Chain A
Amino acid sequence: MAEAGPILSVKGVSLRFKGLVALDSVSLDVPEGIIFGLVGPNGAGKTCLLNVVSGVLPQSEGEVFFKGREISGVPLHRRVDVGIGRTFQGVELIAELSVLENMLIGRHHLMTTGVITGGLFYGAARKEEIRHREAVEEIIEFFELERYRKSPVGMLPFGIQKLVGVARAICSEPRLLLLDEVASGLNNQEKQDLSRFMLRIKHTRQITMVWVEHDVRMVSELADAVMVLDYGRVVAQGSPDDVLHDPAVQRVFIGRSAGDG
């Protein structure tokens, strides 16, 4: 996998809101096919980095390369075409729609039905709807969501909603999946399920993941590489073991006074 160069490459990205520096010349390379963990305290700029990569926020400086192509100019709604899918911290599903419909929205950019063809629902539009419904069914099966298929998402337990959020992102068939705190708010059982699904996404679907998470232990168990951010700066980067035992990283998490002894 390593022969092709990184799937995502961030070079010197800074993000400033007036005086506030959210990201301070952050650089990273994510090789294809790995789970890349992004950890750090609250307000470290983790989600900001995801927002820059997924196109929600334009960076103030620096460049973002996806498969070697600079994508800073690609508007938000074209990033899924490029191959970047994401989940959101606040789930961001449409509560009144069913799991199925939410996931079909994830396939929006793969479909072409317009107003007229959709309204007539005949021929190509019908076939397309059926074809994508089948694809969604496959992903529903993948995430073991069969029993919730037709339930409005708003009625489902939070843990299931989080899974549906990931499933919707998978529906857009990304090559790079940005996961924003998918494990937060889940109980242990749900976290174990989620870990299982993430490993299956990595192995059976070969999707690269950049994963922002607060649960450092979970990250150290699942991630192939980890980066620690603090106040918008990269504190450490490398294999989970090395990074999490780095004294600088421990200072970030345990607190300066404790770390300094």
Chain B
Amino acid sequence: MALFDTPYRKAGMALLLGVGLILPLVAGNQLLHIFNLTMLVIVGALALNLLTGFAGQLSLGHAAFLGVGGYVSHFVSQAGIPFPLVVLAATAFGGALGFLVGAPALRLRGLYIVLATVGFHYIVLYLIHVYQSSGEDSILALTGFLMPEADLGFVVLDSAVRWFYFLGGVLILTTAFCLNLARTRVARAWIALRERDITAAALGINLAVYKLKAFVVSSALACMAGSLLVYYLGSVSAEYYTLDLAVSYLAMVVIGGYGSIFGSYLGACFIALMPFFITWLFEFFEASPRTQVQLLVPSQVIVFGLVMIGFLIFEPRGLIGIWRRIRVYFELWPLSRSILAVRRD
């Protein structure tokens, strides 16, 4: 099945690419920074979507995987190894770690996997703190480490514009990889094991092998995202990798839509951009600095929680489910009655 099968899709993609190429010329640094962060978040969300969305293995260990990517990058970069190789090393390490984490998780299901990954999260967090405070410098132990500049050899990624193009390329490649995966044998096996594991086994799918594969790929991609993130931010710090972060990645997969690549985009954009949007709302209504200080963070948390609950109750298929319904509505127009009619299956 071709990825872009209709002329409209091809045109749409070309348009999107064109906009992407022109965007840095018109957008300011502040906006580009938001875009860059969002792209990094999307890569991370795609990684988790493979494990949780496709293979159905709920994981709260995603922040830990991102953290491992970041700290492995710092460790390897200390040896003066160039940026692309550091990212590759972090990715490979992530794959190996995914294997180690996935192996004991094979015997666990559902909630028990969630608990096991929470355990993994705290183990990693502990190790990160140990690593961070291992140096002589007590300031560094609190603040974290600085990362070297990302030097591609022919160009140094030292501006938001350069990062934008680079991350855009990474995002396109990652997306293409995931889309290809989604239309071939491995993703089909993941979906089968997520939906009906006994049947999947009866159809010849080795459940243990495919769970492990999901852990390995997801973890490798997450560590890659984590590595790029610390290079982009220019520093790596333990306090970034909270359980909250893991929850918000899980939220992206759920809100965006289980097992949908485009859904990961929607979910990641939604979660990543929501804080900016709420800040903008406060500014728009000219809230006093005092109200901002008091209400900004709580309102972000509350909106996040409400959105999560709302999706779980009203739209378990996530944003992608809404999108598909809108599409069906316009395909059937004017025969379809309501855009919001819930399809029962």
Contact = CB atoms under 8 A, between A and B. Distances in A.
Contacts of B195: 94-96
Nearest to A98: B1
B191 A125 contact: no
Contacts of A80: 202-204
A84 B189 CA distance: 19
Contacts of B203: 77, 80, 105-106, 108-109, 168, 172
A76 B186 contact: no
Contact of B184 (A95, A96, A129, A154): A129
A56 B189 contact: no
Nearest to A118: B184
Contacts of B159: none
B345 A101 contact: no
A81 interface: yes
Listed residue (B178, B180, B207, B217) with the most chain A CB atoms within 10 angstroms of its CB? B180
Given A88-B199, A129-B184, A94 B206 contact: no
Contacts, number: 92
A118 B204 contact: no
B189 to A, nearest CB: 6
Contacts of B180: 118-121
Interface in A175-201: none
A176 to B, nearest CB: 13
B185 A113 contact: yes
A101 B188 contact: yes
A105 B205 CA distance: 9
B217 A94 contact: no
Interface in B186-223: 186-189, 191-192, 195-196, 198-207, 213, 216-217
A167 to B, nearest CB: 13
B341 to A, nearest CB: 14
B185 A79 contact: no
B240 to A, nearest CB: 28
Nearest to A78: B204
B21 interface: no
A104 B182 CA distance: 13
Contacts of B181: 115, 118-119
Q: Could you say which of B177, B202, B213, B217 has the most chain A C-beta atoms within 10 Å of its C-beta? A: B202
A113 B207 CA distance: 16
Interface residues on A, range: 35 or more
Identify whether the interface residues of B are mostly helix, strand, loop, or mixed.
helix
Nearest to A54: B202
A97 interface: yes
A122 to B, nearest CB: 9
A108 B185 contact: yes
A235 to B, nearest CB: 28
B202 A56 contact: yes
Contact of B217 (A79, A105, A115): A115
A111 interface: yes
Interface residues of B, number: 29
Contacts of A113: 184-186
Q: Is the interface of A mostly helix, strand, loop or mixed?
A: helix
Contacts of B206: 77
Contacts of A129: 183-185
A77 B191 contact: no
A92 interface: yes
A105 B189 contact: yes
Given A108-B185, A113-B185, A115-B181, A154 B201 contact: no
A64 B216 CA distance: 37
Nearest to A133: B1
Contacts of B201: 76-77
The listed residue with most B CB atoms (<10 A of its CB), out of A95, A119, A154, is A119
B196 A172 contact: no
Contact of A94 (B196, B207, B216): B196
A115 B192 contact: no
A155 interface: yes
B204 A109 contact: yes
The 3 closest A-B pairs by CB, nearest first: A109-B204, A118-B184, A121-B180
19 contacts: A76-B198, A76-B201, A76-B202, A96-B195, A104-B185, A108-B192, A114-B213, A115-B186, A115-B216, A118-B187, A119-B178, A119-B180, A120-B177, A121-B183, A121-B184, A129-B185, A155-B345, A168-B203, A172-B203
Given A105-B203, A108-B188, A115-B186, 14 more contacts: A54-B202, A76-B198, A77-B206, A97-B188, A101-B188, A105-B192, A105-B205, A108-B185, A108-B192, A115-B216, A120-B177, A120-B180, A121-B184, A155-B345
